[in-house]
Structure 1
Amino acid sequence: MSAPHPRPATPWATPTASYLGNLARAAYRTFRTPKTGPTLYDLCDPILKGTRPGNAHLRLFYKVALANPLLRPLLGRAGLPTLRDEAHFRALQQALLAARDHAAPDWRAVGAPLAALLDEQAHARHAPLPNRMSADPLPPGHLETLIRRCAGHLLGSYRRNGFIPAYGAFNLIGDPDFRGRDLLVALDGLQARTYKNSTLLFNLARVFVLANPSVAALIGPPWRGRAEPLRGPVQIRHRSAYYDAFFCEALLDFLGSGLASRTEAEQARCAIDEMIRFCLIASCEQVPDPRGSGSYRVVTALAPYPHARQSRFFHTVTKVHLGFGVFVPDGDTTACAVSAATQADSDEPLLAQPLIDLFAGYQVGSDGCAPPGVAINGGIDYEGGVLTWIENASGELPYGNDLDPTLNLDVLEAVFRNHARWRIAEHPERLACTRRIVRFQRRLAETGAFADSRSHLYYLPEVYCAYFARLYATWMRLPSATRQAVDPEGSFDLIRARVLSYVRDELMAAEMNPFDAAMALLALAKLGAEPASFAPALRVIAEGFGEGPRGAPYCAYEWNKMKTPTRIIVGGPEVTSAFVLSAAVHARNASAASDSGDC
């Protein structure tokens, strides 16, 4: 039996105490600081409070999300000096009146005065400190202990909840990459009126937050590493097919490690089977091919009633008020669910569909498919990329459409897993579609855009690196003839080299938290780096063990996010455990292969 893991050492031993201390100091400064100008409520109460004419949702959202009794004491102290100017005050209020009263507002005109205010406010991107963590190797047996403890956390959570949850939290400080230009793009490109309303008002509140450093420090206190801790006062627990697919892969890694007891193996297999059914049956819906040739079964992130598993508050009230009344299927959830089911040897009929044909209909430049309307990450070349959202059977696309680099890695991963079944190399159109996604990824590597957070909508650059490594491991298992057909230009070798360079020279050169370290370790292990390079990430993971709440091995960190309607961070203690589990399994496998000379 492995020796028990030691108690976590400084600086990971008391993250909660440090966080609460920062909150207390920020709260004290906030309520001691005099107002510097009109507040959000001075601006909005006269036109949005109470029963008035115009768009009812705008007033309802204001009441529930911004003018509630919890936020009023805080934002009631956050004045905006610019609004002392009567002309600025009236221009912003007139824009809000247009959003309230017009049946079809000119959203760019509505957003223009707010966009200008956003650009006036400083919002520096978080920058981690240099890495000072020891890179000493772990004692024998520690890696196995980490794997077992993290797997036990996942299986225990599944037993308690009937699923493995993730959590979401809204952050009023917003995303530093989302500026005035992006607000106008979003207001113009989003389709649901409720989602436009929530994006408008969340970003209005954000201006007042950013203009008041003490309030900003209270809402967004500093943290260690790159991935932001999930620590909002309201965390929404929910289940998603996307998360289930991810947890399936982590449990499959545990089974493949050979460390599971007979009971744990049985529990893991039962959980995997149930989660695959949730993905491919409960979360599925039929959608039309955008090019008019039939229909497909695809996967939506939030399952409909009665399958939905969400915090009661979010399910019954907040979901609709925030603009999430309709949740359409998406390419990321579909691809990840298909990949996990394929790895689990599922025989569900959905897998027989050549989904590459559906993805081709959402590929930019393919048969007239236009670039995304919500081009928040407009600094990248979208050609060949696959859009995020899939139009449902009713023709709804409430979030418009956008395009994310990491999502396209997941699409390729599902395609490679099913290359024989879908006849990718033998079918000219499918091969052409796949090659164009590969070239899209190559351009991101050539330009260095993959390492820029502004290029990503839903992920951090280090998550992109880990997901590319996941894809690369699948790629290397393909027949050589298929690899040559898909990538005659050697793009995968080029991307691999650029990703490894970023992980070694940038990600690991800075201070990491356990989530960052798991991303780095996954990338190194799956891309064939020397096992000696694993030590810094392993040390961070080992030292962070025990930091989590209520007996969880690790805290929750930013896994994925949304930039509209405000910064929404999604993660959970179980998510961190799953990443650490998989990273430790693959690092162990790579080290064993290196020791045996089987590289």
Structure 2
Amino acid sequence: MNNYANIYDICDTPVLKERPQAAPGENFKFLYQKSACNWLLKYLILKACRHPQIPMQDVPVYQAAIRAAMQASQMNWRDADWIKQTFKPIADLLDRIDKPQFRQRQPLPLSHALPSQAQLNTVIERCMQDILRTWRRDKNNPYFPVAAQVILSGDDHMNGENFLNVLCGVGSFEYQNAALLSALLRCFISSSSARLKFIRKHYRGIAEKMWLRSCWFTHRTAFYDVNFFEHLLAKVLKTEGTDDELQQILPIMENLLQFCGVTSREWLVTPNKGIKHPAITCLPIGSEAIYACRLSKKDRAIKKDLGFDDFASDTDTTFFTLSIAKKWLDLVEDRNLEVDAKLLEECRSLLDHPWIEIINEYQIGSGYTSNPPTIQITKPLNYQGAIPIWFDKPFPKPDGSVVKNVVGNEICPGHNMDILESIIVNRKQWNALQGENLKTVRRLLDFHYETYRSGNFKQESAFQYYLPEIYVFYAGRVYDAYLTLSEAEKMILDPSGRIDAIRQIALAYCKDDLIAYTLNAFDAALAVSALVLLRHESRDDGLLATALKVITDALGEGVKGHPFLPYEWNKMRHPCRIIVGSDVSTSLFVLNAVVNASFYLYGVDQN
């Protein structure tokens, strides 16, 4: 095998022995030294990964691509033709990767024995113990830690076409360098089955187990917290907890909402009409925000080197925050709660903007074309009616240039479902069922209907941030909100019954794709939540019983006092495969599922 090249045969000379001509080359050299030249990674993994399709005589072809990256200017990286021509050899290598199957799923026999309410209460109690214990670890700056774990073998769907599409679609040369280096690592690691075993493990179920704790990057973002708020809200609304328990949960919910709606807020202007509006970012700036995000100086520096320093607000987190802001206001009014009055006013202020008119400027098919998806790797999808993930936020540079789409802009069905749910929740204040607003909402609904009707939602390649099972759970959230509409409102929004059609397809997916095969605790939690929120009519056909059995059987599988293991909840496909989750996030998702199931099966209980 020494007659074949490894990554060092290709990169060491142009990267380490030749001088870069500009900032992009200097950044690539830095990233290469920090990653591929890491002693453990080099001698335990990469040095032995010799590519069987790159004989030593072919090394100059690939060295030319790396040398071009080292000599590149910022203008080169903005030239799509240069990118496609220069990095075609790397793209061709990606196309030759045989995709291994890490997921292990076998047919799962149905269980028809529903757990008792007492058994479900035990799961709820264990989850709440974990949630409260985790929150109390830091009295000065409490949070629910969520970890990001990099998978160096890359995204399973990152072929040559997608790789070039990412390089052409992002505006940051740091991010482009990271994507290029990640593609190289993917090519070489995937060429050695023996070394690949050290990077990626087989796992049971759909969501990947997060096993490499030593490499976790733990942090806090508004996107995580909006989800956690909603899980705790289910506990408050659907169980009759004690006053003491309520007094423990409500301050946590206020903290989460404060972090999302205030700490993580920035002000933007729409790209066409110039409407000034707040938006929620997952990387707020300022010393107070950085402290709240749990980002050390080292972590912040790493993000900057990878091209994540200039970070726009996203439509998903913003609209999810708008949803929980409305739900908080409703909860406080319904329960006559004594809470932070200033935060209530912040919620009202956040909601008091023409939000549907704002997103109309981004929607595909609305007539505006100022902010199209620059990355189109979520396939197969019909983007008509969808809204890209990032709001418009130009970043001026020292050389006088302005960079947009720093990390690219793209379509993912999951975040579009969050937007639809928020619109339904806030329909009255936003006049969602009137005039041009109604046209915008119907286009968005049509996008989801087409994604479900076509079956494209079953393809993981159709998502950037989610697994299909999350999207189905989010369809349940939309259906749950839809049931609050009057019959007249339902006819205005959806005269052709598309939401019910989505419901039927989603329920069939739960039966035939989710619960029919091996699940882990996180998968089962999503299946249970989806079935309940979609109002699965049969309680004794074995679907709920089987998914709940997976959860009760898994109780105690966790480590360090956690009831469950950490699983992939969220992900990124570029610049590398990054999976996101934590022990406590599993507890929160399971809490939501079991609370909903207990309420659906047995009604309110004194828990």
What is the alpha-carbon distance in structure 2 between the residues aligned to residue 538 and residue 313 of structure 1? 43
**Preserved contact between residue 531 and residue 587 of structure 1 (Cα < 8 Å):** no
Deviations 1:290-335 (CA, angstroms, capped at 9, x unpaired)? 2133211000012223212235375243212222111210011111
Local SS of the residue matching 1:91: helix
Which residue is 1:353 aligned to?
353
Which residue is 1:297 aligned to?
278
Local SS of the residue matching 2:475: helix
Q: CA deviation at 1:42?
A: 1.6
The one-letter code matched in structure 2 to 1:407 is H
Q: Structure 1 runs of 4+ off > 6 angstroms?
A: none
What is the alpha-carbon distance in structure 2 between the residues aligned to residue 267 and residue 303 of structure 1? 27
The equivalent position to 2:320 in structure 1, one of 325, 333, 336, is 336
Deviations 1:448-469 (CA, angstroms, capped at 9, x unpaired)? 0011111111100111111111
Change (3 A) 1:355 1:587: same
Which residue is 1:29 aligned to?
none
| More moved, 71-80 vs 314-323 | 314-323
**Preserved contact between residue 5 and residue 56 of structure 2 (Cα < 8 Å):** no
Change (3 A) 1:522 1:314: farther
The equivalent position to 1:95 in structure 2, one of 61, 65, 72, is 65
Percent identical:
31
Is 1:138 aligned to 2:115, yes or no?
Answer: yes
Change (3 A) 1:124 1:484: farther
What is the alpha-carbon distance in structure 2 between the residues aligned to residue 474 and residue 140 of structure 1? 26
Task: Give the length in aligned residue pairs.
Answer: 560
**Preserved contact between residue 560 and residue 570 of structure 1 (Cα < 8 Å):** yes
Which residue is 1:244 aligned to?
225
**Preserved contact between residue 104 and residue 202 of structure 2 (Cα < 8 Å):** no
Q: Normalising by structure 2, what TM-score?
A: 0.89
| More moved, 302-311 vs 328-337 | 302-311
What is the alpha-carbon distance in structure 2 between the residues aligned to residue 256 and residue 594 of structure 1? 9
**Preserved contact between residue 241 and residue 303 of structure 1 (Cα < 8 Å):** no
The equivalent position to 1:562 in structure 2, one of 540, 549, 572, is 572
Which residue is 2:38 aligned to?
68
Which residue is 1:417 aligned to?
425
Which residue is 1:117 aligned to?
93
What is the alpha-carbon distance in structure 2 between the residues aligned to residue 78 and residue 249 of structure 1? 45
The equivalent position to 1:513 in structure 2, one of 513, 520, 536, is 520
The equivalent position to 2:307 in structure 1, one of 302, 308, 323, is 323
Within-5 A mapping of 1:33-52: 37-49=4-16, 52=19
The one-letter code matched in structure 1 to 2:462 is S
Q: CA deviation at 1:175?
A: 1.4
Q: CA deviation at 1:368?
A: 3.0
Local SS of the residue matching 1:160: coil
What is the alpha-carbon distance in structure 2 between the residues aligned to residue 95 and residue 139 of structure 1? 62
| More moved, 98-107 vs 256-265 | 256-265
Is 1:431 aligned to 2:438, yes or no?
Answer: yes
Q: CA deviation at 1:594?
A: 12
What is the alpha-carbon distance in structure 2 between the residues aligned to residue 519 and residue 188 of structure 1? 35
Which residue is 2:363 aligned to?
363
Local SS of the residue matching 2:278: strand
User: Which ranges of structure 2 fall in alignment gaps of 5 or more residues?
Assistant: 77-81, 330-343, 396-402
Which residue is 1:27 aligned to?
none
The one-letter code matched in structure 2 to 1:146 is V
| More moved, 443-452 vs 357-366 | 357-366
Local SS of the residue matching 2:136: helix
Give the alignment's Cα RMSD to 1 decimal. Answer: 1.9
Local SS of the residue matching 1:498: helix
**Preserved contact between residue 103 and residue 204 of structure 2 (Cα < 8 Å):** no
| More moved, 262-271 vs 578-587 | 262-271
| More moved, 53-62 vs 390-399 | 390-399
Within-5 A mapping of 1:565-576: 565-576=575-586
Q: Normalising by structure 1, what TM-score?
A: 0.90
Change (3 A) 1:43 1:265: same
Deviations 1:61-107 (CA, angstroms, capped at 9, x unpaired)? 111122112211111111112221523x2121111111111213321
The one-letter code matched in structure 2 to 1:290 is P
**Preserved contact between residue 225 and residue 511 of structure 1 (Cα < 8 Å):** yes
The one-letter code matched in structure 2 to 1:384 is G
Change (3 A) 1:446 1:126: farther
Which residue is 1:376 aligned to?
377
Change (3 A) 1:142 1:84: same
Local SS of the residue matching 2:407: coil
Which residue is 1:552 aligned to?
562
What is the alpha-carbon distance in structure 2 between the residues aligned to residue 258 and residue 502 of structure 1? 29
What is the alpha-carbon distance in structure 2 between the residues aligned to residue 578 and residue 51 of structure 1? 51
**Preserved contact between residue 126 and residue 226 of structure 1 (Cα < 8 Å):** no
The one-letter code matched in structure 2 to 1:262 is D
Change (3 A) 1:594 1:53: closer
